[in-house]
Structure 1
Amino acid sequence: MDSNISRPLLLQPGQRLARGVCRHLRSLDFATIEEFVPSPGLRVDVLALGPKGEIWVIECKSSRVDFLSDQKWHQYLPWCDRFFWAVDSAFPAEILPEDSGLILADDYDAAILRMGPQTPLAPARRKGMTQKIARHAAFRLHMLRDPGLSVSL
């Protein structure tokens, strides 16, 4: 048996937050994709597609330094209906912008403490994003079945 198969994944702090966020959003009937690229040069930690087609972006921050070094988060806003920060209970939440959503998360679950303001996407952008999300998810699933596949995400 390959020893890599039996070892648990070693997740970084932000990835552990993302896992808890994704679990919680699944309980709300959202489908999630981690590390999604809405546009060249941007990579969001979690993108969530809701049951009514709503698109949320969640950025996971594991420390003050992690948050302060993030200069791109404003560029994510045109790609979603709502934007959230996900942090753990030790994070100094008072440094986060109040005009964005807030999710408290751990490795296994999360709770939405503050909804981000709703800024609906234009219909053409929503359609393009929904198609991109579907294709991205299909390619990831295909890569699980065929690990040697070369797909550019």
Structure 2
Amino acid sequence: MSDSSAARISTIILPADGRQSPVAAGIQRGVRRLFAELGHVTLPEFTLANGRRADLIALAPDGSLTIIEIKSSVADFRADRKWPDYEDFCDRFYFAIPETVPFDILPEDRGLIIADSFGAAVMRESLHHPLAGARRKAVTLRFAHAAASALHALADPDRIADGRL
């Protein structure tokens, strides 16, 4: 491969997926920044084996998995009770909210992150419930496949448009 044909690193701007409000998108950005600072890699809108879609999943250098459920308002929290279905697929579980949402509506036994589009802070640590080895392997493989598929889609957007990815 010649220097002129070598792969180049460039800025990638991902389109909004349209599933989130601007507030939720800002929370996601801030939480992803926090986890990146901790050395974790994250994927948004991660489909679990049970068919549920987690707002955000993080994979730590040690292989531990964290799911973050984004709630942009009190109404958002009250309308969605699917989050207990996510806990069988992670070692830790957090809610991420903006500072305008009162803490007391959230379960006290779950982790809590306050976030905006610039960053995030852990306000309450999550309990640690280690996954069984087989479940960890299955979720990690699903994570790897989703990440590779997303990278492929960036490199070959026509394939996505054709519905072949």
Same fold (TM over 0.5): yes
Shift of 1:119: 0.4
Counterpart selection for 1:71 from 47, 69, 81: 81
Aligned-pair RMSD on alpha carbons?
Answer: 1.9
Distance change in 2, residues 1:151/1:17 (3 Å): farther
Distance change in 2, residues 1:144/1:114 (3 Å): same
Report the identity percentage.
42
Partners of 1:107 and 1:76 in 2: CA distance? 24
Q: Which digits, 9 at most, give the CA deviation of each residue in 1:47-80, with x for residues without a partner? A: 0000100000001111000000111010001000
TM-score (norm 1): 0.90
Residue in 2 aligned with 1:29? 39
Partners of 1:139 and 1:99 in 2: CA distance? 34
Residue in 2 aligned with 1:44? 54
Counterpart selection for 1:116 from 98, 105, 126: 126
TM-score (norm 2): 0.84
Aligned residues: 147
5+ residue gaps in structure 1?
1-5
5+ residue gaps in structure 2?
1-12
Partners of 1:136 and 1:114 in 2: CA distance? 29
Partners of 1:40 and 1:79 in 2: CA distance? 9
Shift of 1:144: 0.6
Shift of 1:39: 2.1
